[in-house]
Amino acid sequence: MGIAADIILLVLGAFFMGLLFQRFGQPLILGYILAGFLLGPHTGGVTVSNAHQIDLLAEIGVALLLFALGLEFSFKDLKPVKKIALLGTPLQILLTVLLGFLIGRWTGLDLRSSLWLGSAVSLSSTMVTLKTLESRGWMGTLSSKVMLGILIVQDLAVVPMMILLPKLSNPLVGLPDMGLAALKAAAFLTALFFLGTKALPRLMGHIARLGSRELFLLAITAIGLGIGYATYLIGLSFAFGAFAAGMILSESDYGHKALSDILPLRDLFGLLFFSSVGMLLDPRFLWEHLGQISLLLLLVGIGKGLIFAGLAKLFHYRNIIPLALGLGLFQVGEFSFVLGRVGLTTKAIDLRLYSLILSTAVLSMVITPSVSGLAGRLYSLRKRWFHHEPLEASHIPRSGLHDHVIIAGGGRVGFQIAKIFHRLGIPFVIIELDYHRVEQIKRAEMPIIFGDAAQEVVLSVAKVHRSSLLVLTAPGLVNARAVSLQARRMNPKIEIVARCSGPESFEFMRELGIVEAVLPEFEASLELARQALLRLRVPPTEIRKHTERIRHELYAQGRREEKEYRILSHMSEAEQQFDLQWLFLTENSPLVFQSIGDLGIRKKMGVSVVGVVRNEKLLPNPDADFLFLPNDLIAFIGNEKNREEFCLLATSAPCPQTGEPLV
């Protein structure tokens, strides 16, 4: 059966090892790596015969992982970390290359080999890091966003490394090649932008209308892998192309459905990647060079960890983030295999150094899930033994926070919500990541905490255990999951209201325990429709009846079985029969200079006057002795028939249908 038999062996091995590791509370990826090691070509017994072909399939796993990651994130998610990603990552690469170079020289390597060693260890593992973050529920946190930004730039840096390192003897030849690669990258991104804004939405819309799930899955897989392959053909990273495709597709209306369909395929090919990593381990080489490998792993791990932690500090990331970065990105990545293979092919390094890099990389990947899991414990110990830096907070009430609302995100949506709460006297606190927005909220003298709402320490400062309600203003599913899970763990009784990116996310939100999900774009469309219909002289009651019906139909998708929702629907339908109506009284109106009691408005006509605007002042709930005057603007309620009769009496004309007067 050839390659098919190998895949079956790996799937079976990964399944049993995954069960074993899950039983002991360990990450599944460790089980996959162990399965690959046991079935690899170096251990004897039942082995995989086509290891090279498995490696090729594993590359598809890397591409699918990054494609799915691109679908989960958008360009907006990377905005808060752009400085450390674009400026900090090149600095990190240079420092780590220097670290590896010094280690190489100290261990007796020549100048060129030391430089190759430094370049190889400067890269971290995108696949292992993201899988670890996902398994621990850390996706969507600020730490994960910083890691993602760094990893993306690292993956891009592989291209110039592969061009320049083999040509160290003649840099003048390598520089033109790198310039050509930059032009190719610019052309690719331009073409991808055109596809993402023009061609892809039309294509996906056409396929979605066909109603075939299989064809939809095939389409999104073809887009992810096809664009990745296109970048490979022009000399760029296959995985980066897939990630870029996911980012572009995430901005369309089909991003969430594409993500849900691609996840099983991603996990299957991801299994092959981690198994292929395990197959690279040669126990004989490990035993013979255990001292060298251990020393290199220790020096690189500690050195890279300190570099990443220092980098986080340099860019003003505090609390747990430096620790999370240092323990999460210390490993040597999968692209180091590719770089090492280039060095071996060009005879820039020998087989011994290649095996040393490979063994160190694999072992660092193996211990990453366990090491990164120490971040929370070490941070707790640090807080206990030392004074930790306080979170930046402003305008927090002296009496503290009690029975308050936590607004996670102080952007345009969150800021407007906060303004309404402020006017109503409802206690609240905002949590925001963007420092510029924090400064804006400070100037408005609203309570604000600068930090990531998905972090335990931030929610502790926000007193989540005393809070009654959490409002999530960002539409991303990953962020909603991270924040809501952490908040629920700290306060199981807290209610959560969230901004939702699409109807397909309702079920996901419900699983997270989110009591209400709101679609801003949908609400905006209803308001636009309302304004348009008012200009078309459609009665306001008729407009409201139809818009409420559409609203109920949409939101019922995620709440169809809830008793409270059915009750609210019936109440809303009944409310439409008693819609508020406004009427302007002229000097000739029969109501002028007469009282409500004398007219017998409620008894004779079945309507109730609930307010009068006189001289730009609202007079609520006027009594029976209230006397109507010219130019009064009166508000009354009743069913549609009674309101029409009252309007005919008051103005000798039907009720206004061109809009609702402003008070």
Name the pairing type of β-strands 617-620 and 428-432. Answer: unpaired
Tens-digit pLDDT profile for residues 159-172: 678 767 776 655 55
> In terms of Cα–Cα distance, which of 131, 23, 123, 70 is closest to 372?
131
> Which range has highest mean pLDDT (18-32, 154-168, 428-442)?
428-442
Residue 593 to residues 110, 231, 609, 616, 627, Cα–Cα distance (Å)? 104, 81, 16, 19, 6
Asked if the model's pLDDT at residue 286 lies above 80, the reply is yes
pLDDT of 309 reads: 93
Contact criterion met (CB below 8 Å) for 40 and 51: yes
Asked if the model's pLDDT at residue 434 lies above 80, the reply is no
The answer for 416, left when phi > 0, alpha when psi is -120 to 50, beta otherwise, is alpha
pLDDT of 326 reads: 92
pLDDT of 662 reads: 34
Residue 648 to residues 585, 590, 600, 643, Cα–Cα distance (Å)? 12, 10, 15, 9
Q: What is the mean pLDDT of residues 593-611?
A: 85
Tens-digit pLDDT profile for residues 496-540: 998 887 766 777 777 777 878 888 778 888 888 888 888 887 777
| Confidence grade of residue 656 (pLDDT, cut at 50, 70, 90) | low
Asked if the model's pLDDT at residue 101 lies above 90, the reply is yes
Here the tokens at position 415 are 């800021």
Asked if the model's pLDDT at residue 95 lies above 90, the reply is yes
Contact criterion met (CB below 8 Å) for 265 and 71: no
> What sections of 24-125 are H helices per DSSP?
28-39, 51-72, 75-78, 82-83, 89-106, 111-121
Of the two residues 252 and 473, the one the predictor is more confident about is 473
Q: What is the mean pLDDT of residues 313-326?
A: 86
Tens-digit pLDDT profile for residues 29-87: 778 888 888 887 777 666 666 666 676 677 777 777 778 777 766 666 667 788 898 89
Cα atoms found within 13 Å of the Cα of residue 249, Cβ hemisphere only: 32
Contact criterion met (CB below 8 Å) for 448 and 394: yes
Asked if the model's pLDDT at residue 308 lies above 90, the reply is yes
First to last CA, the chain: 79
Asked if the model's pLDDT at residue 573 lies above 70, the reply is no
Tens-digit pLDDT profile for residues 257-276: 777 778 777 777 778 777 87
What CA–CA distance (Å, rounded) separates 258 from 587? 64
> In terms of Cα–Cα distance, which of 236, 228, 229 is closest to 180?
236
pLDDT of 119 reads: 92
Asked if the model's pLDDT at residue 193 lies above 60, the reply is yes
In this structure, of 97-106, 272-281, 490-499, the range with the lowest mean pLDDT score is 272-281
What CA–CA distance (Å, rounded) separates 308 from 323? 9
In this structure, of 222-226, 247-251, 286-290, the range with the lowest mean pLDDT score is 247-251
Q: Would you call 24 exposed, middle or buried from its count of C-beta atoms within 10 A (0-12, 13-18, 19+)?
A: exposed
**Residue owning tokens 């924090």:** 438
Asked if the model's pLDDT at residue 295 lies above 90, the reply is yes
Asked if the model's pLDDT at residue 412 lies above 50, the reply is yes
User: Which of the 8 DSSP states describes residue 26?
Assistant: -
pLDDT of 77 reads: 61
Beta carbons within 8 Å of 335's beta carbon, 6+ residues apart: 123, 126, 154, 155, 158, 237
Contact criterion met (CB below 8 Å) for 241 and 29: no
pLDDT of 306 reads: 95
Contact criterion met (CB below 8 Å) for 609 and 595: no
Tens-digit pLDDT profile for residues 388-411: 556 667 888 877 888 899 999 888
pLDDT of 619 reads: 87
pLDDT of 51 reads: 63
Beta carbons within 8 Å of 448's beta carbon, 6+ residues apart: 393, 394, 395, 410, 429, 430, 431, 432, 438, 441, 442
In this structure, of 103-112, 397-406, 536-545, the range with the lowest mean pLDDT score is 536-545
Three-state secondary structure call for residue 572: helix
The answer for 2, left when phi > 0, alpha when psi is -120 to 50, beta otherwise, is left
pLDDT of 481 reads: 81
Asked if the model's pLDDT at residue 561 lies above 50, the reply is no
pLDDT of 417 reads: 92
Query: Mean pLDDT, the chain, as a whole number?
Result: 80
Three-state secondary structure call for residue 468: coil
What CA–CA distance (Å, rounded) separates 502 from 305? 39
